[in-house]
Amino acid sequence: METQRSSWEFSKFSLIDVAKGMTAIDANQDSFSAQSQPVADSLQKTARALRTRLQARASSLHEAKMECHEKLKMVEHCCKVLKDITCSCGPSREEKWKSVRVCIVSWKEILVTPSNLMVTQ
């Protein structure tokens, strides 16, 4: 998270450098080549920082997706168990209630586990 924050701050400052450089180039069109190198350097630094930030966000999104997938599997299992309970056929009453207890534990896990769905910017 710290790397992501520092890369964003670095990127923001590089963008300010680029804006200043572009303004200087516009003001001094005669000395374009002298002004263009710092702007090019800032653009490269900004691009690297933005790539780093995008990679960090992609990783966070992947983790959130996997967490949601696991929770969805637990919820689907609980739905199946509830359906089985209401059906007179299938497993014995003891097995049905054992499944219910497993679902209760799953629900507690779902409720207690913090979600990474909100990806910080």
What average pLDDT does this structure show over 91-107?
Answer: 75
Two structure tokens written together for 109: 């896990």
pLDDT of 99 over the 80 cut? no
Q: How many CB atoms lie within 10 A of CB 113?
A: 11
Two structure tokens written together for 116: 């990474």
Angle at which helices 93-112 and 32-86 cross, to 10°: 160
The predicted pLDDT at position 44 comes to 76
Two structure tokens written together for 117: 């769905």
Average pLDDT of the chain to the nearest whole number: 70
Q: Considering the chain, what percentage of its residues have pLDDT values greater than 90?
A: 0
The residue ranking higher by pLDDT, 105 or 111, is: 105
Neighbouring residues of 52: CB distance < 8 A, sequence distance ≥ 6: 3, 4, 7
What average pLDDT does this structure show over 92-119?
Answer: 67
The residue ranking higher by pLDDT, 62 or 25, is: 62
The predicted pLDDT at position 118 comes to 43
pLDDT of 57 over the 80 cut? yes
pLDDT of 27 over the 70 cut? no
